[in-house]
Structure 1
Amino acid sequence: MDNTDKEHVEERGNSAEWLLLTAVFIIATCGLIYELVAGTLASYVLGDSVTQFSTIIGVYLFSMGVGSYLSKFFNGHLLRRFIQIELLVGIVGGFSSAVLFITFPLAASFRLILYAIVFVTGVLVGLEIPLLMRLLQDRVAFKELVSRVFAVDYVGALLASLIFPLLLVPYLGLIRTSLFFGMLNILVGWYLLRRFKGEVKRTAAIQLTALLFLLAELAAFIGADAIMKLSEHLQFSDKVVYATSSPYQRIVLTRNHRELRLFLNGNLQFSSADEYRYHEALVHPAMQASPQVKRVLVMGGGDGLAVREILKYPGVEAVTLVDLDAVMTKLFTTQPVLTAINKQSFSDKRVKVFNQDAFVWLRDNRQQFDCIIIDFPDPSNFSIGKLYSTSFYQLVKRSLSPAGYAVIQSTSPFVAPKSFWCINATLQSVGFTTIPYHNYVPSFGEWGYVMITQRPSYQVPDTFAIPARYINKGVMQQMLYFPDDMKTQQPLAVNRLNNQALVEYFEQEWGNYSEQ
């Protein structure tokens, strides 16, 4: 063999090496994307993002270990086995989110299906890297092999972690994201099959399988909206009239002959038939108690319904609303059916909207407000639980005028009395006088609130001098009374950032309630 032939052989070897390392980069990216999709989807439909991501990551890493162990039993035809595994990863991981969305409203044991898919995907991904290293071992020195494979693998993981929240979820959604990377896995397998066809036997059957898998995923990618609509049709009893995904949540609106309902990540937020009961009880006690209310802060409440109630007071000069989700506030600013409910509150010149994390915004705030309305989701996970902590309430105390009142929606004292009174105890621990109360909202049942002030006491006003369908002096007096089944004798922990006791109470109480 002359020097020219040797150079050609070396070039082909180097080309094959870099091609396989590129495959490592792609499969590492795809593998982490499947893990992120499963964790995000689980947090959407099951809540408690910390628990879901923790368990998904644990199962996924364990299953990758199982796959790595099983790779030692693969002997002979390694390239063919690797290509077959690529196709399987592509079809299982690619269809994972579509299958999970469809089965969630149908399956009684959804978690079993979720973890089974995560486990199978992890096993297949765990098989890939060991097989690739064995394919490369005759082409690269061991020291170089290990360093290159794992360096490329980690870079692929970094890419996945960056593009998933910034590009994929906002622009593709979960179903199209998993299908796109499923097709990418299949294309990797197909290209390797074409590139090394001389080293693989019975390529025709594998090529046909790859083509069928690719066409199936392409069809599902095109019809992803229809898949999501089917899932939501199965999940919600009423007609879904609007649905979209933001970087933070799935927003769904349903309608029947009586009402319009808003769901965030599958959880009911309001019904147009009775939301006035909730929002009048949330807003007016604190507004009526605060003297000379000119500046009001609302945190949460991206539907603009609390702002609607605030704007009934002619003396209000400025309303600041802080809500994380810009998609939510834009929806309730532009859609006529929704602006009809909130009376176009976001279009009022007195209202200024900030789409920021409330904790960060309040930490940087240097203004004081005459009244603060806090309408966050229930503390179902640690990321929301921080907004019910002593650290957050210290910031509220700094931002509330000395004579002002604030109010916090505080979940159901009937379903979750420990959670409700934990919030009350947490507020007292930072020096607030607390006025707990509750009312009945047909769509939710008994619901609780805690009003706070730095004054020593609270007096029910003789009149509520605003247009109201529900609240008045008599109703407010009744709301202050708690029967024994809404109380707890158990000593409760204060919710702090380093213990998140409230989240544990909430998970326990609502978990027991949902199982009944």
Structure 2
Amino acid sequence: MDQTDPHAPSRAHTAILLVSVLVVATCGLIYELLAGTLASYLLGDSVTQFSIVIGSYLFAMGVGSYLSRFVRGDEIGAFIRVEVLIAALGGWSAAGLFLLFPVVEDFRLVLYALVLAIGILVGLEIPLLIRILRHRYGFADLVSNVLTYDYVGALVASLLFPLVLVPRLGMIRTGMVFGIANVAVAIALTWVLKGRRGRRFDLVVALLVLASLVFGLTIADRLQRWSEVAYYGEGVIYARSTPYQRIVLTRRASDLRLYLNGNLQFSSRDEYRYHEALVWPVLGRVAHPRSVLILGGGDGLAAREVLSDPAVVHVTLVDLDPEMTRLFRDNAELAALNRGSLSSPRLQVINTDAFVWVRHAHGTYDAVIADFPDPTAYALGKLYTESFYRELFRLLAPDGMMTVQSTSPLIAPRTYWTVATTLEAAGFHTRGYHVYVPSFGEWGYTLAAHYPPPDAVHLPPGLRFLDAASEHLMFQFPPDMARRATPVNRLDNQALVRSFDEEWAHYEG
């Protein structure tokens, strides 16, 4: 180590640079996680989106590292400008992507262009820092120090992002906060290096970027609201990101709608059609449905139908997200919609992953209702697999009955019939049925039991949609929805997610 080298950074300068390694590593991974999460929220299929984002980002970092060789002289000035650019692009990335998604025709082009731009800039950082610090440390110490701080920063980012940042700050604020961290590094270095050429210009630009990020931070909720109003075309009355999903409630006139990760879950105008068709073909075929298991259904609407049957003594509802069940329990308007089902003494709410819960559950249930969101991602696809259904086979009473929400047999017939094929592979006898729900179109369900589900059904009086005649018609399929050969959906192939993505993409395209 040559302490007399005229190019060697001062001790204060060196300390700032080492801290900056930690900061830039943390910020770089945060921007990557933001892009991957946003892509999965807005485009679906989280595994595909994260894989492409991570691969593109790492490739771009390699390009940035290669381009660093062309920086000749004033490495510190180049590093400062790179930090300012990353702060501007990364800090505004989440807000920009949310705002652009409803209005640009090819969102993927914008997304991956931004990922590549940020990745190239991040790839420039570490090589520049190594060159700047080479005069203060020997090679071994230099590499050790830089890589240690770099890897620690990656760990910090990977822990903070899912546990603290998304649930507490949301994605737009998270981007702004880490953009501020990036530009703070640039400002600190610019401030310390008082005699550097171009210092004043760099400081002014950095302060302007900082001001824009602070402003963005103050209006983050408004930016999120603007993007969601543009996306949904409806007034947003509630929006929150949880560790599991983005929950949005909208209202248009008297119509209240719930969206999870941008996908419509119900409309208050016609949800009764969906939920009566989900619940009563099961309860109406079970002689004594004393114990009922509901998987998913955190809005309490399926529970509303189940609890209206006086024969039901106890309901167990397993839903992953405690924010969903809290919202639909404590909000007066939403509780009125589900008739206070989530506060019923006959109902027990368990907030956990249903896939894990069923593996450890004991006892049997007279009726099981699987009301999961569509298999838009592998995390949801596992809830439609043979291994999951085998656990439900064990939990269903010998004379019990189960139903599974199975997406549209008209738009996605391969996906729909894959559910029946998979249930049969797990040992069930099945019968498919479908109903027209105006908000969704033609929608499908699958009955499953240890024995062939009977035709005879007992329906209570007073249902808004179902009666014996309409219930009988639900089991008839025209040729365009007729059964076809489909694979079994297993954890190792996730055939359902792939077919769902292909069929719905074709329909929407």
SS, match of residue 197 in structure 1: coil
Is 1:21 the counterpart of 2:18? The answer is yes
Question: Which residue, out of 442, 462, 483, partners 1:467?
Answer: 462
Aligned to 1:3: none
Partner residue in 2 for 1:254: 250
Measure the CA separation in 2 of the matches of 1:242 and 1:465.
35
Q: Distance in 2 between matches of 1:239 and 1:404?
A: 42
Q: Where do 1:34-113 residues align within 5 Å?
A: 34-113=31-110
1:142 to partner: Cα distance: 1.2
Structure 1 Cα separation of the partners of residues 233 and 110 of structure 2: 23
Q: What does 1:345-424 align with in structure 2 at a 5 Å threshold? A: 345-424=341-420
Could you state the TM-score of these two structures normalised by the residue count of structure 2?
A: 0.97
Instruction: Tell me, in whole angstroms, the C-alpha distance in 2 between the residues paired with 1:466 and 1:46.
Output: 43
Contact 1:82–1:132 (CA under 8 A) maintained in structure 2: yes
Alpha-carbon distance in 1 for matches of 2:470, 2:481: 18
**Aligned match for 1:138, one of 118, 135, 140:** 135
Match of 1:317 in 2: 313
Q: Is the contact made by 2:8 and 2:136 (CA closer than 8 Å) also made in structure 1?
A: no
Question: What is the distance in 2 between the residues matched to 1:239 and 1:25?
Answer: 41
1:350-369 CA distance string (max 9 Å, x none): 11111100001111111211
> Per-residue deviation at 1:238?
2.0
CA distance in 2, matches of 1:506, 1:487: 17
The 5-angstrom pairing of residues 201-240 of structure 1 reads: 201-240=197-236
Give me the whole-angstrom Cα distance separating, in 1, the residues matched to 2:37 and 2:483. 35
Measure how far apart 1:11 and its partner are. Answer: 11
| Separation (CA, whole Å) in 1 of partners of 2:428 and 2:321 | 29
- CA RMSD in angstroms, aligned pairs only: 1.6
Aligned-pair CA distance for 1:488 = 4.7
Aligned-partner Cα distance in 2 for 1:82–1:102: 30
- For the 8 Å contact 2:7–2:135, the answer to whether it is kept is no
Deviations along 1:399-458, whole A, 9 cap, x unmatched? 111110010000000000000111100000111010111010011010000010002341
Aligned to 2:324: 328
> Which residue in 1 is equivalent to 2:274?
278
CA distance in 1, matches of 2:122, 2:483: 49
Aligned 8 A contact 1:460 1:476 in 2: no
Specify the alignment match of 1:160 in structure 2. 157
Q: List per-residue Cα deviations over 1:339-382 (Å, max 9, x = no partner).
A: 11100111111111111000011111112111000000111111
- SS in structure 1 of the partner of residue 376 of structure 2: coil
* Alignment deviations for residues 209-259 of structure 1 (CA, whole Å, 9 cap, x no partner): 111111110011010001011111211222222222211111111112241
1:505 and 2:499 are equivalent in the alignment? yes
Provide the rounded CA distance (Å) in 2 between the counterparts of 1:317 and 1:413.
34
Q: What are the within-5 Å matches in structure 2 for residues 278-297 of structure 1?
A: 278-297=274-293
Q: Distance in 2 between matches of 1:418 and 1:119?
A: 36
Matched, 1:182 2:179: yes
**What SS does structure 2 have at the residue aligned with 1:212?**
helix
Give the alignment's TM-score, normalised by structure 1.
0.96
Partners of 1:68 and 1:197 in 2: CA distance: 28
Distance in 1, Cα, partners of 2:327 & 2:454: 37
| In 2, Cα distance between equivalents of 1:269 and 1:229 | 19
Letter in structure 2 aligned against 1:362: V
The verdict on how the C-alpha distance between 1:12 and 1:481 changes in structure 2, with shifts beyond 3 A counting, is closer
Whole-Å separation in 2 of the counterparts to 1:202 and 1:10: 18
C-alpha change, 1:135 and 1:294, in structure 2 (3 Å) is same
- Identity across matched positions, percent: 50
Aligned with 1:266 (options 248, 262, 267): 262
- Cα gap change, 1:163 to 1:12, in 2 (>3 Å): same
Paired position in structure 1 for 2:193: 196
Alignment deviations for residues 65-91 of structure 1 (CA, whole Å, 9 cap, x no partner): 110010000001110110011000001
Give me the whole-angstrom Cα distance separating, in 2, the residues matched to 1:212 and 1:146: 34
Q: Secondary structure at the match of 1:273?
A: coil
Aligned counterparts of 2:180 and 2:254: Cα–Cα separation in 1: 44
Spell out, residue by residue over 1:146-203, the C-alpha distance to the aligned partner (whole angstroms, 9 max, x if none): 22211211110011000100000011000000000000000001101112223x2121
What secondary structure does 1:260 align onto? strand
Q: Structure 1 residue 390: deviation in Å?
A: 0.6
Matched, 1:147 2:144: yes
Deviation per CA, 1:320-347, whole angstroms, max 9, x where unpaired?
1010111111110011111111001111
Q: How many Å separate the matches in 2 of 1:309 and 1:57?
A: 44
Amino acid at match of 2:420: N
The SS at the match of 1:448 is strand
User: 1:33 and 1:233 mapped to 2: Cα distance?
Assistant: 26
Q: Determine helix, strand or coil for the equivalent of 1:253.
A: strand
Distance 1:260 1:320, change over 3 A: same
Query: Which segments of structure 1 move beyond 2 Å, counting only runs of 4 or more?
Result: 9-19
SS in 2 for 1:270: strand
Which AA in structure 2 matches 1:479? M
More deviation, 480-489/404-413: 480-489
Superposed displacement of residue 466, structure 1: 4.6
Deviation track 1:121-163 (CA, whole Å, cap 9, x = no partner) reads: 0000000000001111111111221222112111100110001
- Quick check: 1:375–1:409 contact (8 Å CA) kept in 2? yes
Q: Distance in 2 between matches of 1:100 and 1:15?
A: 38
Q: Which moved more, 1:429-438 or 1:15-24?
A: 15-24
Q: Which amino acid aligns with 1:201?
A: R
Instruction: Tell me if structure 1 keeps the 8 A contact 2:9–2:135.
Output: no
Q: Which runs of 5 or more structure 1 residues have no equivalent in the other structure?
A: 1-5
Assess if the C-alpha contact under 8 Å between 2:82 and 2:125 holds in 1. Answer: yes
2:471 corresponds in structure 1 to 476
2:112 is aligned to 115
Q: Distance in 1 between matches of 2:78 and 2:65?
A: 14
Conserved in 2, the CA contact under 8 Å of 1:297 and 1:320?
A: yes
> 1:92: Cα distance to partner?
0.5
2:308 corresponds to 1:341: no
* SS of 2:284 mapped into structure 1: helix
Amino acid at match of 1:477: H
